[in-house]
Structure 1
């Protein structure tokens, strides 16, 4: 199986974390989103023009959380995505939650504080940052409440849910994410940050 990715991409990191933790072998092809030629090749693979993309023979799969689930189903003996249908449903719920609710406003902070300047579009827009903060706060509060008395998102062990949510916080400091007022969320993120796979996939600036 071949994964088209970029090490700075938090969506790519989701897949890398899961694959490394499960010991799932992948051949890696790095795609530069700043390269017009790489962009053209990416669109041929994924009309959405997004990373990551998985190729397994003639089968091509996009969307990071779908790729994580597929790799888990392909990996014998993995523990991140148990066979129990109720546990899977709960994991699926949190994976969809982060893609729909939690990650988008975090991405706005990342764009304003990091990527915008790198592509020559000027400095942060205060109105956009204020809007991102308003969008993020209720969902950060949901996660904070959910983590009361818990170490991990689903059940009592690490799962795909943790590895889907945590990468959005990769640039916690650089993006100036307003999350330090959520102690349970930050404690959970600290546990994820101590995982060897997390350290191994940390982007180098």
Structure 2
């Protein structure tokens, strides 16, 4: 039975998993979550009442949270690209970088985006400033961490890069990476050129009008 991914192509966490699936050419059915697909929405809500994307359905198995989904794929549907290193210590660095991108790039980026969606009276300018300050710190740290390697945790594309790709893609729209941080900017460019992520970005292009801050005319 083909894997089913309950997701939306424009969602950053969905792109993280979609990139992993494309990286290994893993067949799956996209169960599109949108106003035009109420049946998928109903099934998704029954599978995961927290109503967070993505959710993977593999026969009778339901897998939640993007990192866990990629870990599950590595165990249950391995492909030619090993996204979790076999060496335990190398895997620790990969998992650390995965958490770095989710917690210190994706989370503050989303805080700025979600603030824009709120009614104006309920917006949190102080929180937005905090989020952008965290992004500045994350960019600066990443610039040093990526200085001598092609990918986030070494010379091989991994789970960490699946997390980095949508994180940096959208974060640079929200709060641009300074031109002085050449390593971080070059790494983002490498991610955009990676065929698996480039495909995910292209498939999401029709939805750029949904970006509440206005999608920039680039990328």
Which residues in structure 2 correspond to 1:178-189 (within 5 Å)? 178-181=176-179, 182-189=181-188
How many equivalent pairs are there? 199
> Which of 91, 94, 106 is the equivalent residue of 2:94?
91
CA RMSD for the aligned pairs? 2.5
Partner of 1:48: 50
Could you say what secondary structure the match of 2:170 adopts?
A: coil
> What is the deviation of 1:40?
4.5
Partner of 1:12: 14
CA distance in 2, matches of 1:83, 1:173: 32
Say if 1:34 and 1:109 are closer, same or farther in 2 by CA, change over 3 A. farther
Which residues in structure 2 correspond to 1:96-175 (within 5 Å)? 96-112=99-115, 116=117, 121-122=119-120, 126-172=125-171, 174-175=173-174
The 8 Å contact of residues 106 and 171 in structure 2, kept in 1 or not, is answered as no
> Which of 60, 63, 71 is the equivalent residue of 1:58?
60
> 1:156-180: per-residue Cα shift (whole Å, max 9, x none)?
12111111122112334542x1322
Segments of 5+ residues of structure 2 without an aligned counterpart are: 209-219
Structure 1 segments of 4+ aligned residues over 6 angstroms from their partners? 33-37
Could you say what secondary structure the match of 1:3 adopts?
A: strand
Could you say what secondary structure the match of 1:171 adopts?
A: helix
> Which of 32, 35, 46 is the equivalent residue of 2:34?
32
Say if 1:193 and 1:103 are closer, same or farther in 2 by CA, change over 3 A. same
> What is the deviation of 1:98?
2.2
The 8 Å contact of residues 105 and 171 in structure 2, kept in 1 or not, is answered as no
Segments of 5+ residues of structure 1 without an aligned counterpart are: none
CA distance in 1, matches of 2:169, 2:141: 20
The 8 Å contact of residues 133 and 178 in structure 1, kept in 2 or not, is answered as no
CA distance in 2, matches of 1:158, 1:109: 28
The 8 Å contact of residues 102 and 167 in structure 2, kept in 1 or not, is answered as no
Say if 1:41 and 1:122 are closer, same or farther in 2 by CA, change over 3 A. farther
Which residues in structure 2 correspond to 1:189-200 (within 5 Å)? 189-200=188-199
Partner of 1:2: 4
The 8 Å contact of residues 16 and 162 in structure 2, kept in 1 or not, is answered as yes
Could you say what secondary structure the match of 2:57 adopts?
A: strand
Partner of 2:78: 75
CA distance in 2, matches of 1:76, 1:157: 14
The 8 Å contact of residues 19 and 25 in structure 1, kept in 2 or not, is answered as yes
